[in-house]
Amino acid sequence: MLYFDNAATTKPDSSVLDSFMKVNQQYFYNPNSPHAKGVEASRLLQQARNQIKSALNLNDETVIFTSGATESNNMALKGVAYQKKQFGRTIITSVLEHPSVLEVCRALETQGFVLKYVNVTKAGRIDMDHLKSLMSSDVILVTCMHVNNIMGQVQPIEDIATLLKDYPKAHFHVDAVQALGKLPLITQDVDSIALSGHKFNGLKGQGVLILNNMHNIEPIIHGGGQEYGLRSGTVNVPIDVASAKAIRLAEERRSDMMSALVQVNQTLRDFISQYKGVCINSPIDASPHILNIAFPGVRGEVLVNAFSKQGVMISTTSACSSKHAKVNEVLQAMGISTSCILGSIRLSFDINTQHADIQQFKHAFDKVYKEVKELLE
Ligand code: PMP
């Protein structure tokens, strides 16, 4: 079996699983309990936060543990919008965002916030001139992903952060789910960052929200006041410790893994380009862990099944939106033709992707191509 669906989820690293098991067995205590064992668990939790801070070169930021990036995005976007509503009502996003951002912004719109979409260039990047034109003193929140989960294009986070320095009321939130372990995370002048453990060989059900100012946000979950009052509920120390380990490993391995994936990506691009009618959707400068291609005239679902029969696990546009029949907005915003959108598939790689896998993929690709060749437009 060849697993090329790592943007959907990755295989947990065995040392991360070991940490999870060990902490569950030895430190299952409630870190809020005042007794000696509770204090030990609390210390471990604090160590995990510090490990994340040092792995990501953070300074005064606060690390909040959540259940995943969906929760981190909800917590940041709603929390900031509610906290800042007396200063302004405008929120800026783009259609490129993951549903865990876009749908939150749309929900906020129904609550009286004004939602503006920044244009996207053909390369799938935020149009900075358009963003400048949308900025005003009413903007309280700008949200942008670091790396796109469907095409892999990288957004100009530094440029946006620099622009927003002139708008001190505007909070800048970055969904860095597909960036951690792939690029150096940009934290300078970014107000909050969402991460998800299972995208970098950690565990599902574990997320992080990095916040640079606790006063900018209102809690959306109320209760016992855990996680600095922002996320009430008994803290899952084992999974948070495991996540800190996954972040540390991802950062340590980043450079070697990315050099290997640049080769994998280029080899596949060269190979696929030889096949008439197949197009490569991902821009050339996209993060190499994602390669989006299209067989115009053939449905993505048909291709996923055909590859699956050959033992290759891939996805259509993304696991999160592939169950919905509507044409993908991200690819549409990039000016990609409808047949290239409907016929698109995403290959995504991680630390476990070997150069040797490519040979197996080439055989599978050739077989699938022969099966669907007649349908290609
Ligand atoms: N943002 C991006 C860019 C993603 O790729 C994902 C996962 N597909 C999420 C947010 C949500 O992460 P999770 O499902 O772990 O909450």
Active site residues: 320
260 C-beta neighbours (distance < 10 Å), count:
17
Amino acid, res. 254: R
Instruction: Check residue 333 and report its DSSP letter.
Output: H
The single residue listed with the structure tokens 């405008």 is 90
Amino acid, res. 351: I
What confidence category does residue 321 fall into, taking pLDDT thresholds of 50, 70 and 90? low
Pocket of ligand 1 (CB under 6 A): 68-70, 98, 100, 145, 149, 175, 177-178, 196, 198, 320
Q: Which atom of ligand 1 is nearest to the CA of 204?
A: 15
Ligand 1, atom 10: closest residue by C-alpha: 69
d(CA 237, CA 101): 26
d(CA 81, CA 355): 46
The pLDDT of residue 377 is 86
Q: What is the pLDDT of residues 273-305, one digit of tens each?
A: 999 999 999 999 999 999 999 999 999 999 999
CB burial readout 276-294, b (16+ within 10 A) else e:
ebbbbbbbeebbbbbbbbb
Q: What is the pLDDT of residues 98-145, one digit of tens each?
A: 999 999 999 999 999 999 999 999 899 999 999 999 999 999 999 999
Question: At residue 324, does pLDDT exceed 80?
Answer: no
Q: Tell me the backbone φ, ψ of residue 137, rounded to 5 degrees.
A: -70, -10
What confidence category does residue 20 fall into, taking pLDDT thresholds of 50, 70 and 90? very high
Domains, the chain, ranges and CATH? 2-7+254-372 (3.90.1150.10), 14-249 (3.40.640.10)
Stretch 162-171: mean pLDDT = 97
Ligand 1, atom 5: closest residue by C-alpha: 149
In the chain, DSSP finds a helix count (H) and a strand count (E) of 11, 12
CA distances from 217 to 183, 306, 370 (A): 27, 47, 54
Helix axes 237-273, 14-26, angle to 10 degrees: 170
The pLDDT of residue 258 is 97
d(CA 352, CA 257): 9
CB burial readout 193-220, b (16+ within 10 A) else e:
bbbbbbbbbbbeebbbbbbbeeebbbbe
Q: What is the chain's mean pLDDT, rounded?
A: 95
Beta bridge partners of 126: 120
Please tell me the distance between residue 19's alpha carbon and the centre of ligand 1 in angstroms. 23
CA angle, 281 then 152 then 68, to 5°: 140
- Whether the CB-CB separation of 149 and 290 falls below 8 Å is answered with yes
Please tell me the distance between residue 301's alpha carbon and the centre of ligand 1 in angstroms. 21
Site to probe by mutation for ligand 1, drawn from 71, 180, 199 as the one with most ligand atoms within 8 Å of Cβ, is 199
Lowest mean pLDDT among 9-18, 246-255, 316-325: 316-325
Beta bridge partners of 13: none
d(CA 130, CA 117): 10
Q: What is the pLDDT of residues 223-276, one digit of tens each?
A: 999 999 999 999 999 999 999 999 999 999 999 999 999 999 999 999 999 999
Q: Which atom of ligand 1 is nearest to the CA of 175?
A: 1
pTM of the predicted model as reported, rounded to 2 decimal places:
0.96
What confidence category does residue 323 fall into, taking pLDDT thresholds of 50, 70 and 90? low
Q: Tell me the backbone φ, ψ of residue 140, rounded to 5 degrees.
A: -110, -15
Instruction: Give the closest residue to 282 by CA, choosing from 330, 325, 243, 245.
Output: 330
Q: Comparing 233 with 356, which gets the higher pLDDT?
A: 233
The pLDDT of residue 320 is 54
Question: At residue 322, does pLDDT exceed 60?
Answer: no
Site to probe by mutation for ligand 1, drawn from 74, 204, 320 as the one with most ligand atoms within 8 Å of Cβ, is 320
Q: Which helix (H) or strand (E) holds 63?
A: strand 62-66
Question: At residue 34, does pLDDT exceed 70?
Answer: yes
Please tell me the distance between residue 36's alpha carbon and the centre of ligand 1 in angstroms. 37
Question: At residue 329, does pLDDT exceed 70?
Answer: yes
